[in-house]
Structure formats: C-alpha cells, structure tokens
Homo-oligomer: A and B are copies of this chain.
Amino acid sequence: MLDDRKLAVLRAIVEDYVSTREPVGSKTLVERHTLGVSPATVRNDMAALEEDGFIAQPHTSAGRVPTDKGYRLFVDRLTSVRSLTTPERRAISSFLDGAVDVDDVVQRSVRLLAQMTRQVAIVQYPTLTRSTVRHVELVVMSPTRLLVVLITSTGRVEQRVVELPEPMSDLVVADLRARLNTATLGERLPEAAQRVSELAVTVSPTDRRAVAVVLSALVEAFSDDRSDERVLVGGTANLARFGDDFDHSIRPLLEALEEHVVLLKLLGETNDASAVTVRIGAEVPYEELSATSVVASGYGPEGEALATLGIVGPTRMDYPGTIAAVRAVARYVGRALADE
C-alpha cells in the first residue's frame, strides 16, 4: 500500500504546507524536493494518499493539504526528533538559571516555551502531592488563634488561621510543633497527612479538642493542593500568526485559555516525565479546537512527572521543532526544579 516513495511524498507535502501555508501541488513538490520522479508520478501517489485519507483537496483543482490522519502518520513515523544545538541548550539553561523560586521558574518556562515554539505556551504549576514536608510551624497569634504554616520542599508555602475552641498553652503548642515536625519532616504530603492524623490519638484528653482543630487544618493544607489546578499561559500574541479565521479558530482558543480547567484537560495527564504527547486536531478533547494541536510533556525532577507543560497551536505546525522544544524545556525545567 504505502511504499517508501508515497511516504516521502506525504512528508514533503506536510513540510511544504507547514512552511508555505498553501495547498501544495505536484509540480511545486517535485521542484522543491528531490524525489527523482516526475509530477505525473507524484500525482498518482497523491491520489493513493488521498484515497487512504492522509491528504485532502480543499477544492477540485487545488493542491493537497494534510488531514489530521496525515499529520498523525507524519508525527509517528516520518519524523526523527531533532536534538537541539549546543547554543540552543545554553540559551535555555541561562534563561532558566536566573530563577529565584518555583513561581519564577514557571514564569520563565512559559516565556521560554512561547518564544521557542512561537506558539501559545501553557505550564502547569508543580503538584504538591509529590513534594515533601520541609517544615511545619505553629504561630500563636492570640490565646485562641493559631497560624498554621506548611513549607514544602518545592518552596511552596501553605498557611491557615485556625480559631481554637479553647485556649492552648504555649507549652502545648511547642510540644505539638516538635511532634509534628519529627513526624512529618521529609515525608511526602499524603503520607504526612497520614502521620498527622495518627498523632491525634496520642494527645492528652484535656487538649484534645483544640489540637484536633489544628490537626485537621494541617491535614487540609496537606491535601487541599490547589496548586495543581493552577496554570500559566503565555505567548498569546502568537495567535496572530494563527491564520485569519478569527471566529472559528482563535476565538474558541481564547475562550479555552481563560478556563484553567479546560487547559488542564488539554495538557492531559502524564505519568512519565520524558514522554511528549501530541494530539492532533480532532484528537484534542474539545470540539471547538478541532483546528488546533497540543504538544505536551510531563516534567519534574529526576524524571518524575510533577506536572505538565506544553503548547497549543494550529494543526499546521512544525511538529519536529515543536516536539524538540517542548521536550527540551520539560527536561531543563525538571532540572531547575530539583535545584530549588
């Protein structure tokens, strides 16, 4: 069915269409690529490719355009991932190196990704779930008010003010603080929540009610991980290069970009930090975005996927370059996070 030359033709069509944005015909194709055959032969191959649904004609006498299925084949079999040049790597490093904290890393990543791919970039904040407890602090604000602070290994800080049902002596607070820290230090958040719950049993009956309030606030801080719902978007100005069909491609995308929930669904879930996922056209889980593709990857320190980042762009995009960029940024951001 699909011999090597037909695949070469498909590849050529995708590449030309991506760079020129115009349907590509048999003649121009032969001129620009060294296929070693005449336009007429290419036409036969094209007819076969169209038969199989890899390419399509906008109108009877126009050139061919890749279909989603065509892009899919191109991405899966016709492209070897380009690795970045040394200067490119260096640029990424230096761009991310200046980051002062996790927020800054995320912000820089979005910019970097948007700039490299010239697409709309999306970066999800690192999940707390896999981070560990660095410190738990209890601050007495008044006899019946306590500030509970949780600091994680990724440098994120969660804090809650709790109203105590009855006063707690400083001694009890100090004891509780010490016990909390020994129990949770270095533990992952879910495990830490578990440990904290266990502590409840060991408390003397007199303080039980007050302590229970504190502990439940802390457990909530451990579990209520709002950060994994947060995403940052950048490079929206690149939408300008999207095409001119505002209502049918740009508007729905702008609307989607406002909804973080939608974005998270777009990025999808990845457990493997090194795998780059590509969703093309109709594969994207929103009907309105059928003219867009999503290239995403998990990222995190030591190949563990804490969160996802990626880009959204027209199906007509430079997949090899974009995939390489997303993969590289994911890798470097993971590394940058490990340093924090």
Contact = CB atoms under 8 A, between A and B. Distances in A.
Interface residues of A, number: 28
A137 B137 contact: yes
Given A134-B139, A137-B137, A251 B236 contact: no
Nearest to A136: B139
A332 B141 CA distance: 25
Nearest to A255: B237
A144 to B, nearest CB: 16
Contacts of A258: 234-237
A151 B147 contact: yes
A17 to B, nearest CB: 22
Interface string A230-256: 000011110110001011001100110
A200 interface: no
A317 B66 CA distance: 42
Contacts of A157: 149, 157, 159
A295 to B, nearest CB: 20
Interface in A99-122: 101
A135 interface: yes
Nearest to A244: B246
A265 B339 CA distance: 35
A192 interface: no
Q: Is the interface of A mostly helix, strand, loop or mixed?
A: mixed
Contact of A239 (B135, B141, B151, B254): B254
Contact of A139 (B101, B135, B147, B254): B135
A324 interface: no
A10 interface: no
A291 interface: no
A155 interface: yes
A286 to B, nearest CB: 14
Interface string A209-237: 00000000000000000000000001111
A161 interface: yes
Nearest to A257: B236
Contact of A134 (B141, B155, B240, B251): B141
A134 B146 CA distance: 11
B236 A240 contact: no
20 contacts: A101-B159, A134-B141, A135-B141, A135-B147, A135-B149, A139-B151, A149-B149, A149-B157, A151-B159, A157-B157, A234-B258, A236-B236, A236-B254, A236-B258, A237-B251, A237-B255, A237-B257, A237-B258, A240-B247, A240-B254
Given A149-B149, A240-B250, 20 more contacts: A101-B159, A134-B139, A135-B147, A137-B137, A139-B151, A147-B151, A149-B151, A149-B157, A151-B159, A155-B161, A157-B157, A157-B159, A234-B258, A236-B257, A237-B254, A237-B258, A240-B246, A240-B254, A244-B246, A246-B246
Interface of A: 101, 134-135, 137, 139, 141, 147, 149, 151, 155, 157, 159, 161, 234-237, 239-240, 244, 246-247, 250-251, 254-255, 257-258
